[in-house]
Structure 1
Amino acid sequence: MASLRRNKTDKNDSFKLALLGATQLSEIKNHCNKQSTSPYDSLRILSLRYRQLIKCRTRIINFLRSGLEITFPELNQIFKNAYAVLALQMFRMYCHPDFLVGLTLKEMTNRVYQAVNKRIHKDVIQNYCAQVWLTAKNSYPAVPADSLEVEIISEYCDEIENYNKEIAYIQNKLIKTAASLDNFKFISSIPGAGQLNSALLLGFAGDISRFDNYKQLNVFLGLDLNRYQSGKY
């Protein structure tokens, strides 16, 4: 299937099998024995690692959101990105509405502002704190504030934070590895492409100059329509 689009028919199968012994046997042997030292190999490994980390982080985020549905469900609506710095800190400090009893909005804002090491503008923090502070008055959690679920939510936040650090490290390594490739410079110069997306594209597709046209690249990436016969005809 190396030179075919994903159009698997009995006719194409028969034709390629006939050519296999006549013209492609030596090519296959050479390909199997070839040891590549291309920078694309490292890029592919990093891209796979990046995808794995994203999946792992998403799994923990789903667990976290399930826990919040029990302790303080409104937080899931307020914070769309559960892996953001401010969201994680808010979950740690106020994942139960009872933690806000007797606390003024100003006091809450100052506490969160100090906790995030002033990396986020205070106006942004105050806006989110106001939303949490107001919704806490009418929230009805399914568990008390001393529930073990609160401790588990804090552990989820720590796990997500660790994934954030590792993902950021892999992102930087991906971009640095891809920066040495001419194709990366061309692709990342396209408006909207971005350096990370360009590096991931080259990591999964390899050297795109080996494709004769965009249709072959689409097929390789699985973006082309498939035709697959059972072999009964």
Structure 2
Amino acid sequence: MKNTQNQKISQIKFETLVVGIDIGKETHYARAFDYRGMELARLLKFSNTDQGFERLGQWMRDICKQQEKTGIIVGFEPTGHYWFTLGDHLKRQGHKLAIVNPFHVKRTKELDDNSPTKNDRKDPKTIAMLVKDGRYREVYIPDDIYQELREAVSERERLQEQLTSIYNRVVRWLDIRFPEFTTVFKDWRRNASLITLRSFPTPEKVMEMGVDKIVETWRKQMKRASLKRAERLVKVASRSVGRTSGKVASEVSLQNLLAEYDLYCQQYDKLEQLMQELLMQVPNADKLLDIKGVGLITAATFVGEVGDISRFQDPRQIQKLAGLNLVENSSGKHKGRTTISRRGRRRLRHSLFFSMIAILGKNQEFRLLHQRNLMRENNPLNKMQSIIALCGKLIRVFYAILIKGVDYSPEKMLGDMEQSIRVAA
């Protein structure tokens, strides 16, 4: 990966055609420039269709022929998902792709006309100029298994959000209709509580059933049925302060929520199985699961978000990709606070952070490193700083395992303790 600005600028040569594209949902706008920033053709307006893409290709080929250009680099803003189809098409055509930061476009669009005007003619030029000056990052579109994993991780996140939403809505329903329910069942997602909600969800129906029928119903669908719990349920139902008006429609609403919950749980289980099958196809990825505290979701999210790890020369590049690199705000005698950049792949950053919290509860080596960070004499870290530093350590461990194919070694990790301390400092 060519990451420095000088290296990026060096790729823009006399024979390079720089194309800036303003991405839209249905229509895109393109302008073409040479390495000095001189425009070589009129603005092109093309549709987000096969015919539009062919028109763009012919337009670029004609310019290359007229201006004696042999290479093309295409730059655009990552405007949501609208660039995916065009990006895939240009990649298949063998063109080099570059993404510019929308914040940079916003800040530099006034250089030409000293006006904050934003339009479809102005933006493509601003994008192309940023690419010409090396202010871009290369587009990485994962191939095959990595794209499959990334899609699976994204879908899992969506299902998890749906399950969380349903959980909260059921809790709300219970707070309104049967607030005493939670004194008998701590979690409505457990087997006994689910059977209860499906069969006799309201205090009135609990009273109608009685203790014996409740126990009988439980025994039909579970191995152990607690008589004491049934008695307690009937007791709290007899004193319930839950709302009783509109109970017929509210019960229908609850049953619909429970049906949705069952459906999403089934989809979630199938997706986790798919993620495991996909992860096992990535070289050395199974070795990540040997680290105590690292589960399927953590490993799959890391591999899916990072993609082909061989494209990185140093694990610090992955740390920057996750937005976990340290940044400092200092000037003159003022020394600002050092924080993480938070610029990068949000899902990767969140996964590493929450995974580290789980790892600290199970993995002795990481706990020792955490304690060392907190208790060291020189520049001790607080808990949050230590967790961020250990996320960087976890990235280096993952990188070594995936690149070299080595097995996880607790001894090697503890021996590398000083490096973790220097990164956190």
| Shorter-chain TM band | 0.7 to 0.9
1:93-112 to 2 correspondences below 5 Å: 93-112=199-218
| CA deviation map 1:157-198 (0-9, x unaligned) | 001111011111111111111112233211111112122332
Structure 2 unpaired stretches of 5+: 17-70, 75-94, 98-138, 326-339, 344-425
Letter aligned with residue 122 of structure 1:
R
Check conservation: 2:324, 2:341, Cα contact below 8 A. no
Structure 2: distance between partners of 1:76 and 1:48: 33
Tell me the equivalent position of 1:43.
149
Superposition CA RMSD, Å = 3.4
Tell me the equivalent position of 2:301.
200
Letter aligned with residue 226 of structure 1:
S
Deviates more, 1:34-43 or 1:61-70: 34-43
Deviates more, 1:25-34 or 1:188-197: 25-34
Check conservation: 1:179, 1:185, Cα contact below 8 A. yes
Tell me the equivalent position of 2:224.
122
Q: Which has the higher contact order (CA 8 A, sep 6+)?
A: 1
SS at match of 2:284: helix
| CA deviation map 1:56-108 (0-9, x unaligned) | 22222222221111111233465554444444332222321111115443431
Tell me the equivalent position of 1:217.
318
Cα distance change of structure 1 residues 102 and 91 upon mapping to structure 2, 3 Å threshold? closer
Tell me the equivalent position of 2:262.
161
Percent identity for Structure 1 against Structure 2: 18
Structure 1 unpaired stretches of 5+: 4-14, 229-233
1:23-42 to 2 correspondences below 5 Å: 23=11, 30-32=95-97, 37-42=143-148
Cα distance change of structure 1 residues 34 and 187 upon mapping to structure 2, 3 Å threshold? closer
Does residue 61 in structure 1 map to residue 49 in structure 2?
Answer: no
Cα distance change of structure 1 residues 193 and 34 upon mapping to structure 2, 3 Å threshold? closer
Tell me the equivalent position of 1:135.
236
- How far the C-alpha of 1:2 sits from its partner, in A, is 7.4
Cα distance change of structure 1 residues 104 and 156 upon mapping to structure 2, 3 Å threshold? same
TM-score normalised by L of structure 2: 0.43
Does residue 149 in structure 1 map to residue 264 in structure 2?
Answer: no
Letter aligned with residue 154 of structure 1:
Q
Aligned length: 211
Runs of 4+ in structure 1 off by over 6 angstroms are 24-27
Structure 2: distance between partners of 1:168 and 1:28: 43
Structure 2: distance between partners of 1:188 and 1:148: 47
Deviates more, 1:194-203 or 1:168-177: 194-203
